[in-house]
Amino acid sequence: MDTTVLWQTSDAELVDAHTAVVQRRRQIYAEELRLVAEMESRGVATKLGYSNTAALLMHTARLSRTEARHQLAQAADLHATTTPTGSVIDPALPQTAEALARGEVDSEHVDAIRKTLADLPHLDAEQRATAEHVMLTRAAEDDPKALLRFGARVRDIVDPDGPPPPEEEPTRPERMLRRHTRRDGSMEFKGHLDLESAQLFENLLKPFEKPHPEGNDTRGYAERAGDAFADVLRMAANCPDVPAHNGVRTEVAVTISFEQLQQSLDDVLLSSDPRMTAREARRLACDAHILPAVLDGDSKPLDVAVPAYAAPAHIRRGLYLRDKGCAFPGCERPGSVCDAHHVAHWAQGGPTTMDNMALLCPQHHRLVHNSDWAVKMIDERPWFIPPTYVDASRTPRRNHIHTPIPSAA
């Protein structure tokens, strides 16, 4: 049908044309998720210097963080995933992946099926496949809400006996912490604290998680609490009573030769930590929040005077006044959480002065050091030049949130 002459089509043709387009959109969405799964599986984001695939998609496709994470979660259920050790895990919902690829179900149907199956963790593989099949058959006639309601009854169809009774209620330990380090080095955890420790934790966190008084703090509660937790950890690490780890104090996180630090090395792994690259060490050294042990040619610690590269208070104040917060385009994080980044690294002779420095939050500081984003000072302000896969013309961008360009009028 020629959609440029819509007025000529009959009502029935119009409805049919719409249905056909919806089916195509779903098929294209299936293709989108397949590509997302492949990017995640290959670790493309990490190779390009991003902390994870969601952060990359926010730049390349301009997805919201919520949408990027949602697509990643769907992709993980519909497609095979590769673990950090290289073993391949079969997809949890292969039939749903096929139905989406045929354009028979929509993204919201996929979510209804994911939710239903996630609520039935005790099913065995055969029962899961049956439940998925039953849901997909039903999805042919139901909208996603109705499908989800039907999902609540799927258990009775697939497993009428219900889950086996728990053998014995395990007693929960008073305090516990389960942590899981992800491939990119970030961490997820879950835990339980007894009453006294919980109160101590609350009291420690409270002063740090208040919104910043400047009034432009748009962080949600969970993000503020996360930042507060990181601040408390940093505080604990700086406490002189913290026990040494393997005989080395934790603030010396990495040893690197001065030569390695001077060069822009991509993937040189440092022996002290398998996840630490020379690039990462350069980022840590950039504002000397964590002091790397810099070694000379004979592997003896090199005496680099700290004031040579840690931004002194008057420069930091000047940067707060000029940049007001993280200088990266689109970032809203306030100056109080930022590092002072050397545009030309101090190890390569870059001076510790206002016109060679920019405030960057930890996330964007890492991105600037690890990816192909470049920083350039234009009219005494930091501008950011995107990599070609974000903007083929590499047009410089700046932060308009903290320092809007005054209108010409």
Which residue lies nearer to Zn ion by CB, 59 or 364?
Answer: 364
Stretch that binds Zn ion, among 3-11, 32-40, 236-244, 321-329 (CB under 5 A): 321-329
Q: Report the candidate in 45, 59, 46 with the shortest Cα–Cα distance to residue 397.
A: 59
Site string for Zn ion, 346-375 (x = CB under 5 A): ---------------x--x-----------
Find the farthest-apart pair of alpha carbons in the chain and give their distance in angstroms, rounded. 84
Exposed, middle or buried by CB within 10 Å (0-12, 13-18, 19+), for 199?
exposed
**Residue of the chain from 154, 261, 326, 375 that contacts Zn ion (CB under 5 A):** 326
How many residues touch Zn ion (CB under 5 A)? Answer: 8
Q: What gap in Å lies between CA 334 and CA 336, rounded to an integer? A: 6
Answer left, alpha or beta for residue 215, where phi above 0 means left and psi between -120 and 50 means alpha: left
| Beta carbon nearer to Zn ion, 129 or 291 | 291
The CB-of-217 to Zn ion minimum distance in angstroms stands at: 13
- Residue 331 touching Zn ion (CB under 5 A): yes
105 or 361: whose CB is closer to Zn ion?
A: 361
For the bound state, the minimum distance from the C-beta of residue 402 to Zn ion, rounded and expressed in Å, comes to 10
Least CB distance to Zn ion at residue 363 (A): 6
Cα distance between residue 84 and residue 183, in whole Å:
6
From the list 16-24, 171-179, 330-338, 372-380, the region that binds Zn ion by CB under 5 A is 330-338
Q: Which stretch binds Zn ion (CB under 5 A): 8-16, 154-162, 273-281, 332-340?
A: 332-340
State in angstroms the smallest separation of the CB of 367 from Zn ion: 8
Confirm or reject binding of residue 311 to Zn ion (CB under 5 A): no
Stretch that binds Zn ion, among 70-78, 151-159, 212-220, 323-331 (CB under 5 A): 323-331
Beta strand 339-342 with 269-270: parallel, antiparallel or unpaired?
unpaired
Burial class (CB in 10 A: 0-12, 13-18, 19+), 56: buried
Tokens 């022996």, residue located? 271
Contact positions with Zn ion (CB under 5 A) in 169-188? none
Q: Which of 341, 366, 398, 402 binds Zn ion (CB under 5 A)?
A: 341
* Whole-angstrom distance, CA of residue 112 vs CA of residue 92: 14
- Assigned token pair, 216: 């432009």
Residue 286 makes contact with Zn ion by CB under 5 A: yes
For the bound state, the minimum distance from the C-beta of residue 234 to Zn ion, rounded and expressed in Å, comes to 17
Q: Is residue 337 at the binding interface for Zn ion, with CB under 5 A as the rule?
A: no
Q: Is 328 in the site for Zn ion (CB under 5 A)?
A: yes
The b/e string for 126-150 (b: 16+ C-beta within 10 A; e otherwise) is ebbebbbebbbebbeebebeebbeb
278 belongs to the binding site for Zn ion (CB under 5 A): no
* Range in contact with Zn ion (rule: CB under 5 A) among 25-33, 218-226, 291-299, 336-344: 336-344
**CB atoms < 10 A from the CB of 396, how many?**
15
Token pair 């917060």: residue: 325
Q: Which of 339, 335, 340, 331 is nearest to 384 (CA)?
A: 331
Angle subtended at Cα 283 by Cα 280 and Cα 287, rounded to the nearest 5 degrees: 150
Minimum Å gap between C-beta 375 and Zn ion is: 9
Task: Name the minimum Å distance from CB 99 to Zn ion.
Answer: 40
- Structure token pair of residue 18: 């719409």
Give the DSSP H/E element, type plus range, for residue 110: helix 107-118
Which CB, 138 or 341, lies closer to Zn ion?
341
Only one of the segments 177-185, 186-194, 269-277, 318-326 lies at the binding site for Zn ion (rule: CB under 5 A); that segment is: 318-326
- Alpha-carbon gap, residue 12 to 18, rounded angstroms: 10
Q: Does 316 bind Zn ion (CB under 5 A)?
A: no
Query: Which tokens hold the place of 340?
Result: 């002072």
What is the distance between the alpha carbons of residues 82 and 43, in angstroms, rounded to a whole number?
Answer: 10
Residue 161: other Cβ atoms inside 10 A: 6
Part in contact with Zn ion (CB under 5 A); list of ranges 123-131, 204-212, 279-287, 292-300: 279-287
Q: Judged by CB, which is closer to Zn ion: 316, or 333? A: 333
For binding to Zn ion (CB under 5 A), which residues are involved?
286, 326, 328, 331, 333, 341, 361, 364
